[in-house]
Structure 1
Amino acid sequence: MTDQNTRLGIWLMVGATFVFSVQDGISRHLAAEYNIYMVVMIRYWFFAAFVMAVASRAPGGLRAAVRSAHPRVQIFRGLLLAAEVCVMVQAFIVLGLVESHAVFTCYPLLVAALSGPVLGEKVGWRRWTAIGIGFAGMLVILQPGVAVFSPAALIPLVSAFMFALYGLLTRYVSRSDAASVSFFWTGVSGAVIMTLVGIWFWEPMTLADWGWMGCLCLTAAGAHWLLIRAYEVAEASAIQPFAYLQLVFITLLGLTLFGETLRANVALGAVIVVGAGLFTLWRARKKGAAV
């Protein structure tokens, strides 16, 4: 891996996080006006078409993409991610972009904590300490036990748990399935389940919002393409920390476009969680290098 590739991977990851942030902002706008299931369903239609187009151009084409050693797990992964997207968009409506993403940043800590029982991986005391500190940061954000605490703050925490489980299952199937196979099953199975659910909530959309829906579909596909390219040209451990920039981009969007506020406890808690998450990534990378 060359330095140039690593730098390119970093820039691609930064680009992906920015486009994902824009995508979330559009999702917040559309879900405030229309049923969440319908919005996510249409997004998944385009996503499925995108992954099928990518798979058809890969070696072996669609036949290779369909072949999975774990089809049931792959289907469950797709269902889990689709449900996670719906839950997170609901969090955008209830809590706003800033606070939802501040809570959601704990998902790498959940991945580290669950990697033992789910994948049988060993988590050392240093990472367990970082996980504990990270969840202390979560308590700073959520403020349980005080008058201002809202149970709605648990919505993005549920989303983070679902996304962490999705990530662990992705690592599990990657032992025998190529990334292109997992990508294909994620898009197609998610589109099927969202169609079965979302079609019952169809409602007319204005021409202007169809334009926003088109932007949502394009940003979703574009962000995933940037992410794929980032992992193609650089090691995941080298570029993954830059994914936390999404919290910065989201905060700017929330404050400037949606009139949200950044409470002091949310900012402090997010710094603690991100710091703990970066430490777990560093420990995982150091442990991997030592093997």
Structure 2
Amino acid sequence: MSGAWTAIVLAGQRPGENDFAEAHGTRWKALIPVGGEPMLGRVVRVLLDAAPIGRIVILAQDPQSLMTGALGWMVAEPRIATAVSGDGISRSIAAIAGSAAAPFPLLLATADHALLTGEMVEAFLDGAGETDAAVALVERSIVEAAYPETRRTWLRFSDGDYSGANLFALRTAKARKGLEMWAEVERDRKKALRLLMSFGPLLALRALTRTISLDRALAIAGRRAGFAVRAVRLAFAEAAIDVDKPADLALAERILAARTRSAVEGGGAQRGGAA
């Protein structure tokens, strides 16, 4: 349904990201310019133009400080609201999920997804279907075929290696259980094995030994946690590239420059054909 989704844009700052931001002349990572525009602005513009998105919530430690200067236009946009993040991303999302400001269904996106496009958003939400929750991923071969120089974190399963695409769908209130799981990992990333064990030793062993497929692992984990979760495989290599470090920023700049050249050349060809 057009306009049915609320997009929560995660624009907060983790410890250690200050240096990256300050190296590019800003206090906040979300405001690092890519292609001449702050990353947050790029993401928000894409979401405003995406047909499924009805409203946007900027979630950050100090969201008002992000909506100044080049992004001052956001203040007057009636479809944009803000929320202050607290202790942990998952708890901050849980605090507003299902509220009047952020009703279900929810799309979670990140401010550092500078290469996000409307096609990615619509493909993901179409793929999410009627499940309680969904996560976007890109298969390793797709990413490395397009950008062999990029370095991503790969989730390894029997049917392939995948990188997260920084898009999550929480379609129903049952998906809150996924936020609780996320909170456990946030508190201590070394507890990831303990989290797997909570679904049973067999599932943990199969995940560690790569003898279970991505879909099967999610189906079992979701069923035992009390909600249905689906992996949505995206065909866009760029969906797996967020801007976390200088190498990512340089790659994103090159990709955006290539998009601009392609758009200009395509427009020129169309004008030439019409003449």
Alignment TM class, shorter chain as reference: under 0.3
Higher strand share: 2
Point out which structure has higher relative CO (alpha carbons under 8 A, 6+ apart). Answer: 1
